[in-house]
């Protein structure tokens, strides 16, 4: 049972394993990505229902541009399809939509759809849904440093908060919980600055098989932890 008072404000998910899921079933990779997109919709709905404030999904990394051209094109078409078919419905239900990453690298038609969704949802007050697209944590930090240089900021004026205001995630809470599926135990250049004090949950389950029930298992695991942010426990047993 989940404790209502300990729901993470911000959950970020590395949705990994679509290709392996398809390969294990003798299916083309596109089928794994399609199933993964369907799973994303289920988890978005579940997060909204339990009161999560912000949900960030690592949908397309900056390194993913190195994949074969036909796979990248297929992923872009799939992204366009789900933006048109699913995400507009989520916005109608009150969600706030946002993206992080080098969005300028995406095809023009997709950029237009994303900008339209961001604008149309800006007045909503529900859960914030953030898609990391063409995103890399190192790239984000470098872009923020360039902004600092361009602004000619004085070294004494540079603080955690002033630097965070230059990141793609400006205005969003730091992630409380980062989930990665597929058995890999690394963060793969995801939210490097923001993850400083996040809790991590790794599961062997491939993303297309990551159901609402397993999502709740991850939350239950999180609720059993004591978050100290570098401090010592209030009570120390000997």
157-207 per-position pLDDT tens digit? 899 999 999 999 999 999 999 999 999 999 999 999 999 999 999 999 999
Q: How far apart are CA 101 and CA 109, in angstroms?
A: 17
Mean local confidence (pLDDT), 208-235: 84
What CATH number does the domain containing 45 carry?
3.40.1180.10
How far is CA 165 from each of CA 148, 190, 194, rounded to the nearest angstrom? 11, 18, 12
Of 159, 144, 201, 139, nearest in space to 176 by CA: 201
Residue at 151 is within a domain: no
Contacts of 203 (CB under 8 A, 6+ apart): 179, 180, 181, 182, 183, 210, 214, 218
The residue ranges of DSSP E strands in the chain, in sequence order, are 10-14, 54-61, 96-100, 128-135, 177-180, 199-202
Examine residue 160 and state whether it is found in any structural domain, yes or no.
Answer: no
Report if residue 162 sits inside a domain: no
Look at the chain and report how many structural domains it folds into: 1
Does a structural domain hold residue 204? yes
Active site residue 221: no
pLDDT for 11 beyond 90: yes
2 domain residue, yes or no = no
63 located within any domain: yes
Q: 129 in a domain, yes or no?
A: yes
16 carries an active-site annotation: yes
The answer, as to whether pTM is greater than 0.95, is no
More confident residue, 186 or 87: 186
- Annotated active-site residue in 64, 116, 124, 209: 64
Residues 95-146 have pLDDT tens digits of 999 999 999 999 999 999 999 999 999 999 999 999 999 999 999 999 999 9
- Out of 16, 18, 168, 176, the active site residue is 16
User: Range of 72's domain?
Assistant: 7-139+175-223
């Amino acid at each position: 049972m989940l404790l209502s008072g300990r729901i993470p404000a911000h959950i970020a998910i590395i949705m990994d394993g679509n290709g392996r899921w398809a390969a294990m079933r003798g299916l083309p990779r596109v089928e794994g990505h399609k199933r993964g997109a369907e799973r994303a919709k289920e988890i978005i709905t579940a997060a909204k229902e339990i009161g999560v404030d912000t949900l960030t999904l690592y949908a397309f990394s900056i390194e993913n541009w190195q994949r074969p051209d036909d796979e990248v094109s297929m992923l872009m078409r799939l992204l366009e399809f789900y933006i048109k078919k699913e995400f507009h419905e989520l916005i109608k239900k009150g969600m706030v939509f946002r993206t992080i990453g080098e969005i300028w690298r995406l095809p023009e038609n997709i950029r237009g759809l994303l900008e339209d969704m961001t604008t149309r949802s800006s007045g909503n007050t529900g859960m914030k849904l953030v898609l990391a697209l063409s995103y890399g944590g190192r790239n984000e930090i470098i872009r923020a440093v360039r902004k600092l240089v361009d602004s000619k900021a004085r070294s004494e004026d540079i603080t955690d908060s002033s630097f965070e205001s230059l990141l793609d995630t400006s205005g969003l809470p730091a992630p409380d919980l980062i989930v990665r599926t597929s058995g890999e135990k690394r963060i793969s250049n995801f939210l490097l600055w923001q993850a400083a004090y996040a809790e991590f949950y790794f599961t062997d389950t491939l993303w297309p098989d990551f159901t609402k029930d397993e999502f709740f298992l991850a939350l239950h695991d999180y609720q059993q932890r004591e978050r100290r942010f570098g401090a010592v426990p209030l009570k120390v047993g000997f």
